Every structure is written in structure tokens, then in C-alpha cells.
Amino acid sequence: MEQVLKLRNLKVVFPTDYGLIRAVEGVDLDIYHRECVALVGESGCGKSVTSQAVMRLLDSPPALIRMDVLEFDGRDLTQCTEAEMQEIRGKELAMIFQDAMTSLNPVMTVGNQIDEMYRRHYGDSKQAAREKTVHALELIGIPEPKERANSFPHQLSGGMRQRVLLAMAFACMPKLIIADEPTTALDVTIQAQVLKTLRGMQRGCGTSLLLVTHDLSVVAKMADRVYVMYAGKIVEKAPVKELFTNPHHPYTVGLMAAVPRLTDEKKKFTQIPGTVPSPVHKPSGCYFHPRCEYATERCRREMPRLEPMGRDRQVRCFHPLGVGGKSSD
């Protein structure tokens, strides 16, 4: 299969007055053509920083960024100049942000903000760009697209605004879209509609999607493959079905248990004890050991490596669950 994105050993550090914040510590990502890959983790685990680093949108300074490989569509992005990146951003590599209210310019009509995509990347005239914008808004499911294009962001509902961001991201039919918590700011019914639209557009346009989220129900609905991230490191990588039926890493198991289910009445709604470690003072050994009920002396001393575990699966744990007779509950 054709590989769209290949990221190897991404490290991002923010120097602060309190010490170094190691936001991302050696993350690898692979995204293939037409695939939806989810990057899951709690807030502060480094997933947004990872996505912005892939877009090369992180400002350095303050961020210190190091990566071995960043290949997008066969091109080495680490060698691109800022001007070349500006050509790629939006046109081939687009991004959808979390809060559409603040992510849209409040003093520009949404139409103008989408027009900018066509005018920048295709050099379209004002009229031609607007025609395409209206078409894009229609495609994304906005009623009366011509009138809506002249609205300001505050005049639209939350779901509409998010759809505007989708229309913007899909405007130039990019190869890859990075969606950073695209539905977190919406209520559940609207969330479902927007996700459906996103999934439909992604399939229809043949775009690959990197979905950054903390919401496992979104992952279950959308993703083909999943990366689970904890404290700046990937702890588990698996196809979505296998991850949900047989999670290996205790953190993944904890995340699953924390999702309330209607069907399982026996299982209690549990939460992972403790909190995410401070990014300045991460624990010794495995970062998850202070919250892990299976932790041993070795976990406290040594950081486990991300080991292959069957076909297309990887897990960073000395004592993976659900393997070789051990059960996950």
C-alpha cells in the first residue's frame, strides 16, 4: 500500500522556567493511502504537539524539535523551506482544529476564509474561488450555501462552524488531513453528524486522515488503526478491532474500562487511579508504572521498548495483558 506519512523518532522539548517539558519522546507514525489513523491519549500526552510537528507548525523557539524522518507523499518535509511548507500546507496536508469558534477569524466571513484556500493554492480569481466555496459548503451539508458564505462565524451554529472547517480542509483535496479533536467542542448528536460527514468526505475524496482524539467512541466509529499515546510515548499500536477486543497495554485496558457501556452490566465503570505524570518530572522506568496495578520492580527501573506483538501490533510493556493465557480483566 502507498504510504502517505512516515514519521520516525519525533522528539519535542519545551524549555521552561520549571525545567524541560519533554512533550513528545520518540514517536513513530505511519499512515497509508485512504486510511484513518487515530492517535489517542489523555490531555497533555503530546498528541496535539505531535500533529502540529507533522504540519511543521510548531514555533522553534520555543519548541526544540528533532526527528529522524518526516516523509509526506514521498517528499522529505524536514528538508523543506518555510516557503515550500506553505505551498504544501492546506493544499496537500490540511488540518482541522478543535474549537471552530476560535479557529475561525471573527471579523471575516466564512466564505472569504474558504476562498483564501483556492486563491492561495490555485491562484483563483475572487469569483471563481467563491463559486468553488459555495460548492464545497454544499457538499459538506450546509443549507443555503450561497447565503451562509456571507455569514460571519458568530452567526453560525457550532455544528455549522465545524462543517466550515471541514470544507476548508477538504477544499484542495489534500492527501492527508490531520483532525485535532474535531468534534470535542460539539454536543453528542451534532458530533455524530459531523463525524459522519467527515468519514463520508474522507472516503469520497480518497484522503487519509489522522484523527487526534481522547474519545474512544470516536475512535471506534472512525479509525482503521490506532496509536495509543501516554506521556509523550506511543504505548500501543493496533488495528482498531483488535485493540477493542484484546487490548494489551494496561493503560489501554484502563481507558476502555473508563468508557461506560450499556451492554455490560457486570463490569463496573472504573477509572485509572492517579493522574497523568507532570511533563517536567516524569517517573523512572515505565511512565505508567505508578498508576499500573501490574507494575513490578522492573517496571520501576526500566523503560520498556515498543515490541512487536503479532501482526501489525506493537506494545510498550514488560507484562502485556491478553497475551499467552493472561486475561485482560
Binding of other proteins by 102 (CB under 8 A) = yes
Q: Is the dihedral of CA 87, 90, 93, 97 positive or negative?
A: positive
Residue in 304, 323, 316, 312 with CA at minimum distance from that of residue 37: 312
Residue 32 is given by DSSP the state E
* In the complex, minimum distance from the CB of residue 219 to other proteins, in angstroms, rounded to a whole number: 23
Closest CB to other proteins among residues 129, 253: 129
In whole angstroms, how far apart are CA 201 and each of 188, 220, 272? Answer: 20, 18, 35
Among 16, 75, 78, 108, contact with other proteins (rule: CB under 8 A): 108
* In the complex, minimum distance from the CB of residue 214 to other proteins, in angstroms, rounded to a whole number: 18
Cα 126 → chain centroid: 33
Residue 103 is given by DSSP the state H
Pair 251, 267: CB distance under 8 Å: no
Write down how long the chain is.
Answer: 329
* In the complex, minimum distance from the CB of residue 275 to other proteins, in angstroms, rounded to a whole number: 26
Number of H helices, E strands in the chain: 12, 13
CA–CA dist 317, 293 (Å, integer): 13
Among 13, 31, 67, 117, contact with other proteins (rule: CB under 8 A): 117
* In the complex, minimum distance from the CB of residue 95 to other proteins, in angstroms, rounded to a whole number: 4
Among 22, 47, 89, 148, contact with other proteins (rule: CB under 8 A): 89
CA–CA dist 22, 280 (Å, integer): 7
Among 54, 65, 67, 104, contact with other proteins (rule: CB under 8 A): 104
Site string for other proteins, 123-152 (x = CB under 8 A): -----------------------------x
Near other proteins in 155-184, by CB under 8 A: 165, 168
Site string for other proteins, 31-70 (x = CB under 8 A): ------------------------x-x-------------
* In the complex, minimum distance from the CB of residue 104 to other proteins, in angstroms, rounded to a whole number: 6
Residue in 87, 59, 92, 66 with CA at minimum distance from that of residue 10: 66
In whole angstroms, how far apart are CA 218 and each of 33, 49, 182, 203? Answer: 20, 20, 10, 16
Closest CB to other proteins among residues 36, 169: 169
Number of residues that bind other proteins (CB under 8 A): 28
The contact set with other proteins (CB under 8 A) reads 55, 57, 85-91, 94-95, 97, 99, 102-108, 116-117, 120-121, 152, 154, 165, 168
